[in-house]
């Protein structure tokens, strides 16, 4: 079994005990409806999870997957409908009831106390106490070692959770559920925070759990993963089950079920024709307020008519790099030049005026003013220019005309451009941001997570627009934690790990190579490792 | 996991812990959320808040009226008598309030009959100070400091009035500008501290209110003291420095009211039509997005507090150069605090603030008439005003009372 990146020294593993066979249970959801006011998040959903199966719940963001699972886990009460366990109806007043019948959940955002140890976290809510109510963690530690050994997790029960890598924290969540004898495990978008290797390992774990009799409900919007691991796939769209499929079904078929119309999943893009190099980052170091180097001596360049993708697991300095370019960061050393102009030390206004189009990673926090109308958001960084204002007075007619044009051009689905932008879906909000940033002549287009939380149909459209900007001769920098997206868009790919540049590779590089680089190998080390997987790599611990 | 791990063929990320995701300071904390929640209520909530407060006020009037008490003594013999007594009590009181604030046909003098002009007089400083709070609100700042800014404005205006001797017209202009300057200075301190050090404007403005109150008292005992009085009051303002009376000597209504209407129009233009107001509203709703769009948030905080302070300073001039005609320690009364309610009740729109200020002016003008003519304690007015604050500050309360559904901003999480 591969345990890359997560396994510690082998000698510390206790001998594996005889595996406990988990008694399987059959889970049925019958006509579950959950509405929040006028919004129906789940509409008469029927779902059967057979014992010992991996059942995937596929759907776009906002389709109602998580709501359904929260109903199943007792966090929400269904408006109508029934949950049956092994044929008899059950009602959950809260997660404790769900756990009692053997349902465990690993949330997308972990429910762990960072300053507690693994054992304390696992015991939390399920503490065994000795005489006089004194906490007895020994039983919990034993149980953690048992489970770890059985599935090869090798998690130290006394490690502080906050100091563990994200992948290991996820294992702690799984252990937590297994320690409570979960027979059905719900994994909510578990791969969002993992490297490709960690994702593969998680899938191995899922298969092992299944072999051991645990049923798994796997929630995802990533078709590749769903196809790789599922026994059965249920597709949800707009709160309704639109069909079930076998994992052997073609990807395009699953995608069109998910979106509700046929989509092309592969981006048609001509080969890049790079021109002169106009954007260069040289020896860039960004320090955060705590004094840590979050971007560490990074150097790269982007040419006109080329897309450079920046890959990496979330939190490895991509956000800070993008913010440094825009002038949002203090403590920036090194140089960022655009067409010979130094950008370091300039204000955001000056950087924007220099011709940088910027799509921030978090559109709701940084890209849009939720209470403002769509029209106002479309001029959020252009309001001082003609024709949108003159002599310090806004020209509402010009702003409205611009909005009408952009809404049509970018196919923003809205009744009126005067509606608050917060009423739009995520995909349409992102279209507003891109429409704004692409609506002036650019010398650099920098987009962080350009399609995060965006439905598959809109992704296709947004990607085309980005490629069109490249073809118009603009250097494009894409920062994304979705490796699929980086691979699809980029002409070259730079990988960041712990703030350092691991190397720049061609856009058609293999997932394995990129995965190793995302886990901290330089491009040469990663290539050497792929050529000779058994060779020992000499490298200094970071 | 901190052991020196043997060299493995695989990278071991736990040896190089990922840098913790750097959290950026959120510029709008809990306070910002609360303000937005309050402002998200619509006009219906403001109107309902007033109505509910008036109803509770009516209950208080009824239970404290001895006529109702004695009628209730034989309630079972004649329940109608109790109902009649309640009706008589409440309608007397609110009738007197309404007549006092608008038009009282029974009064002997014209001043007595036309209470509406007293309402406008009382409303004038409330409009100006309310606009100050409104403008800051919309920029995401809770300006509790209108009180201090009024005091400083009145002090500066008063000083310009007493110490200068200028021709008609010019003197008043100088007094008005001095008042605006005084308020802007006081507001600006809070703005600069917020922008440069992140000091929370609520704390700073509250403290500046105390300092302003102490400062004016000190000046009134020394530099600004009327030599002919033993009390800490200033001399009378010279006639040249006063706002002209709009309706002759029988009414107190002065040109400050015109200034207030002009300010409503100006703030309306500033907020809704100007590029500066666009920045203010963007900063007030989402400072992070404003910053990313190239706006300079700190500069917005400073300039908006200068303007808000100037508006409150103008409210001070309406007192010292209009209604009171001299400066004393009570020059601001409770205007600075009522202004917060007025801004909230007006949902932080310029015209909403204007009408809310008229309502509060009417309470003040009618309250006296209610106390005199209906023998109801003037404190009832204070209670009603406080209840309005309570209901506006808790929109969910009114929503649940009237089953108004809250507008969901993002829809349910999926």
Would B154 be classed as within a structural domain?
A: yes
Distance CA A521, CA A527 (A): 9
Q: How many domains are there within chain B?
A: 1
Would B282 be classed as within a structural domain?
A: yes
Secondary structure, 3-state, chain B: CCCCCCCCCCCCHHHCCCCCCCCCCCCCCHHHHHHHHHHHCCHHHHHHHHHHHHHHHHHHHHHHCHHHHHHHHCCCCCHHHHHHHHHHHHHHHHHHHHHHHCCCCCCCCHHHHCHHHHHHHHHHHHHHHHHHHHHHHHCCCCCCCHHHHHHHHHHHHHHHHHHCCCCCCHHHHHHHHHHHHHHHHHHHHHHHHHHHHCCCHHHHHHHHHHHHHHHHHHHHHCCCCCCCCCCCEEEECCHHHCCCECCCCCCCCECHHHHHHHHHHHHHHHHHHEHHHHHHHHHHHCHHHHHHCCCCHHHHHHHHHHHHHHHHHHHHHHHHHHHCCEEECCCCCCHHHHHHHHHHHCCCCHHHHHHHHHHHHHHHHHHHHHHHHCCCCCHHHHHHHHHHHHHHHCHHHHHHHHCCCCCCCCCCCC
A 271-310 residues inside an 8 A Cβ radius of B: 288-290, 292-294
CB-nearest partner of A165 from B13, B21, B413: B13
Distance CA A221, CA A427 (A): 14
Q: Do A316 and B19 touch (CB under 8 A)?
A: yes
Q: Do A39 and B19 touch (CB under 8 A)?
A: no
**A to B CB pairs, distance under 8 Å:** 172
Best CA proximity match to A178, nearest among A67, A21, A3: A21
Task: Mention every residue, 6+ apart, whose C-beta is less than 8 A from residue B196.
Answer: B298
pLDDT number for residue A535: 57
Residues of chain A with pLDDT under 70: 1-24, 38, 61-62, 130, 262-265, 453, 533-542
CATH 3.30.450.40 describes domain A266-355+441-542: no
Q: Where are the domains of chain A?
A: 10-259, 266-355+441-542, 376-439
Does residue A40 sit at the B interface (CB-CB below 8 Å)? no
How distant is the Cα of A541 from the closest Cα of chain B, in angstroms?
Answer: 6
Residue A230 near residue A207 (C-beta atoms within 8 A): no
pLDDT number for residue B126: 97
Q: Which residue of B has its CA nearest to A168?
A: B14
Taking phi first (over 0 means left), then psi (-120 to 50 degrees means alpha), and beta for anything else, what does residue B67 get?
A: alpha
Question: How many helices (H) and strands (E) would you count in chain A?
Answer: 17, 22
Does residue A520 sit at the B interface (CB-CB below 8 Å)? yes
Q: Do B411 and A36 touch (CB under 8 A)?
A: yes
Best CA proximity match to B93, nearest among B65, B122, B73: B65
pLDDT number for residue A536: 55
Would B51 be classed as within a structural domain?
A: yes
Distance CA A136, CA B382 (A): 59
Q: Do B414 and A63 touch (CB under 8 A)?
A: yes
Would B16 be classed as within a structural domain?
A: no
Residue A216 near residue A210 (C-beta atoms within 8 A): yes
Residue B151 near residue B331 (C-beta atoms within 8 A): yes
Residue B145 near residue B179 (C-beta atoms within 8 A): no
How distant is the Cα of A142 from the closest Cα of chain B, in angstroms?
Answer: 18
Q: Do B14 and A8 touch (CB under 8 A)?
A: yes
pLDDT number for residue B23: 36
pLDDT number for residue A242: 87
Q: CATH number of the domain at B380, please.
A: 1.10.3470
H-helix or E-strand spanning residue A356: strand A356-359
Would B114 be classed as within a structural domain?
A: yes
CB-nearest partner of A165 from B18, B275, B292: B18
pLDDT number for residue B396: 67
Residue A251 near residue A258 (C-beta atoms within 8 A): no
Q: How are beta strands A500-506 and A492-497 bridged, if at all?
A: antiparallel
Task: Mention every residue, 6+ apart, whose C-beta is less than 8 A from residue A7.
Answer: A152, A154, B10
Distance CA B71, CA A18 (A): 86
Q: Do A369 and B292 touch (CB under 8 A)?
A: no
Q: Which residue of A has its CA nearest to B36?
A: A371
The answer, yes or no, to whether ipTM is higher than 0.90 is no
Would B167 be classed as within a structural domain?
A: yes
Q: How many other CB atoms are there within 10 angstroms of residue B211's CB atom?
A: 14
Would B10 be classed as within a structural domain?
A: no
Residues of chain B with pLDDT under 50: 1-31, 406-414
Question: Would you list the DSSP string of A67-102?
Answer: HHHHHHTTSS--SEEEEEETTEEE--SSHHHHHHHT
Would B372 be classed as within a structural domain?
A: yes
B292 interaction partners in chain A (CB closer than 8 Å): 326, 328, 348, 358, 360, 366-367, 381
A368 interaction partners in chain B (CB closer than 8 Å): 286, 289
Task: Mention every residue, 6+ apart, whose C-beta is less than 8 A from residue B379.
Answer: none
Predicted model pTM: 0.77
Q: Do B286 and A365 touch (CB under 8 A)?
A: yes
Domain range for B294 is 32-402
Query: Coil, strand, or helix at residue A367?
Result: helix
Does residue A164 sit at the B interface (CB-CB below 8 Å)? yes
Domain A10-259 and domain A266-355+441-542 have a common topology: yes
Domain A10-259 class in CATH:
alpha beta
Taking phi first (over 0 means left), then psi (-120 to 50 degrees means alpha), and beta for anything else, what does residue A44 get?
A: left
């Amino acid at each position: 079994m591969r345990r890359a990146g997560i396994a510690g020294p082998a000698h510390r593993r206790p001998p594996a005990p005889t595996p406990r066979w988990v008694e399987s249970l059959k889970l049925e959801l019958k006509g579950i409806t959950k509405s929040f006011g006028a919004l129906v998040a789940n509409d008469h959903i029927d779902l059967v999870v057979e014992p010992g199966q991996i059942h995937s719940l596929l759907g776009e963001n906002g389709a109602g997957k998580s709501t359904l699972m929260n109903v199943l886990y007792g966090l929400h009460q269904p408006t109508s409908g029934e949950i049956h366990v092994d044929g008899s109806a059950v009602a959950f007043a809260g997660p404790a009831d769900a756990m009692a019948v053997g349902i465990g959940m690993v949330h997308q955002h972990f429910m762990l106390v960072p300053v507690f140890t693994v054992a304390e976290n696992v015991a939390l809510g399920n503490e065994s106490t000795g005489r006089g109510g004194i906490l007895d963690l020994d039983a919990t530690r034993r149980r953690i070692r048992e489970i770890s050994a059985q599935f090869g997790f090798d998690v130290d029960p006394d490690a502080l959770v906050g100091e563990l890598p994200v992948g290991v924290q996820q294992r702690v969540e799984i252990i937590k559920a297994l320690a409570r004898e979960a027979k059905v495990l719900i994994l909510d978008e578990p791969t969002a925070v993992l490297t490709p290797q960690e994702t593969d390992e998680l899938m191995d774990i899922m298969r092992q759990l299944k072999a051991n009799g645990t049923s798994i409900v796997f929630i995802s919007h990533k078709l590749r993963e769903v196809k790789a691991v599922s026994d059965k796939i249920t597709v949800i769209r707009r709160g309704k089950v639109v069909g079930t499929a076998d994992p052997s079904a073609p990807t395009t078929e699953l995608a069109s079920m998910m979106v509700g119309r046929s989509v092309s999943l592969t981006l048609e893009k001509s080969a890049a024709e790079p021109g002169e190099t106009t954007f260069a980052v040289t020896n860039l170091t960004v320090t955060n307020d705590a004094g840590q180097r979050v971007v560490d001596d990074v150097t790269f360049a982007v040419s006109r008519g080329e897309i450079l993708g920046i890959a990496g697991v979330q939190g490895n300095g991509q956000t800070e790099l993008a913010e440094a370019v825009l002038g949002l960061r203090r403590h920036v050393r090194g140089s960022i030049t655009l067409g010979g102009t130094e950008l370091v030390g300039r204000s955001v206004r000056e950087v924007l005026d220099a011709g940088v189009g910027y799509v921030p990673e978090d559109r709701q926090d940084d890209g849009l003013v939720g209470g403002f109308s769509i029209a106002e958001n479309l001029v959020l960084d252009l309001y001082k220019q003609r024709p949108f204002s003159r002599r310090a007075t806004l020209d509402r007619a010009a702003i409205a005309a611009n909005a009408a044009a952009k809404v049509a051009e970018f196919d923003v689905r809205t009744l009126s451009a005067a509606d608050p932008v917060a009423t739009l879906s995520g995909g349409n909000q992102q279209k507003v941001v891109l429409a704004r940033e692409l609506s002036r002549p650019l010398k650099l287009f920098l987009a962080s997570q350009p399609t995060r939380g965006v439905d598959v149909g809109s992704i296709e459209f947004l990607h085309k627009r980005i490629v069109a900007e490249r073809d118009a001769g603009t250097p494009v920098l894409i920062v994304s934690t979705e490796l699929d997206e980086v691979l699809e868009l980029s002409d070259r790919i730079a990988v960041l790990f712990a703030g350092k540049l691991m190397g720049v590779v061609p856009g058609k590089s293999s997932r394995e190579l990129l995965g190793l680089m995302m886990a901290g190998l330089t491009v040469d080390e990663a290539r050497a490792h792929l050529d000779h997987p058994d060779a020992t790599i000499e490298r200094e611990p970071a | 996991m901190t052991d020196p791990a043997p060299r493995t063929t695989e990278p071991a990320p736990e040896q190089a812990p990922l840098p913790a995701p750097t959290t950026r300071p959120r510029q709008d904390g809990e306070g910002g959320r609360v303000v937005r929640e309050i402002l998200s209520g619509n006009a219906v909530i403001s109107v309902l808040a007033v109505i509910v407060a008036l109803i509770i006020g009516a209950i208080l009037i009824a239970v404290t009226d001895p006529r109702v008490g004695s009628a209730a003594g034989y309630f079972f013999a004649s329940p109608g008598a109790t109902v009649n007594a309640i009706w008589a009590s409440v309608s007397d009181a609110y009738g007197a309030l309404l007549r006092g604030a608008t038009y009282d046909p029974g009064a002997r003098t014209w001043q007595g009959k036309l209470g509406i002009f007293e309402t406008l007089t009382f409303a004038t400083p409330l409009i100006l100070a309310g606009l100050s709070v409104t403008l800051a609100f919309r920029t995401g700042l809770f300006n509790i400091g209108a009180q201090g800014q009024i005091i400083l404005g009145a002090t500066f205006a008063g000083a310009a009035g007493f110490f200068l001797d200028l021709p008609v017209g010019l003197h008043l202009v100088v007094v008005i500008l001095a008042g605006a300057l005084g308020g802007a200075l006081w507001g600006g301190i809070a703005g600069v501290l917020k922008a440069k050090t992140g000091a929370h404007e609520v704390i700073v403005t509250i403290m500046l209110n105390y300092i302003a109150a102490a400062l004016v008292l000190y000046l009134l005992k020394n530099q600004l003291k009327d030599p002919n009085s033993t009390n800490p009051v200033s001399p009378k303002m010279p006639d040249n420095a006063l706002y002209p009376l709009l309706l002759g000597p029988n009414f107190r209504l002065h040109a400050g009211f015109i200034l207030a209407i002009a300010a409503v129009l100006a703030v309306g233009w500033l907020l809704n039509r100007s590029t500066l107001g666009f920045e203010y509203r963007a900063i007030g709703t989402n400072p992070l997005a404003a910053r990313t769009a190239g706006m300079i948030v700190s500069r917005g905080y400073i300039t908006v507090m200068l303007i808000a302070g100037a508006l409150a300073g103008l409210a001070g001039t309406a007192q010292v150069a209009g209604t009171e005609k001299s400066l004393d320690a009570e020059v601001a009364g409770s205007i600075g605090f009522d202004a917060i309610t007025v801004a909230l009740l007006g949902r932080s729109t310029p015209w909403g603030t204007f009408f809310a200020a008229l309502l509060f002016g009417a309470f003040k003008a009618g309250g006296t008439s209610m106390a005199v003519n209906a023998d109801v304690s003037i404190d009832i007015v204070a209670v009603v005003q406080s209840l309005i604050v309570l209901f506006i500050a808790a929109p969910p309360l009114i929503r649940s009372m009237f089953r108004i559904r809250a507008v969901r901003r993002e829809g349910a999480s999926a």
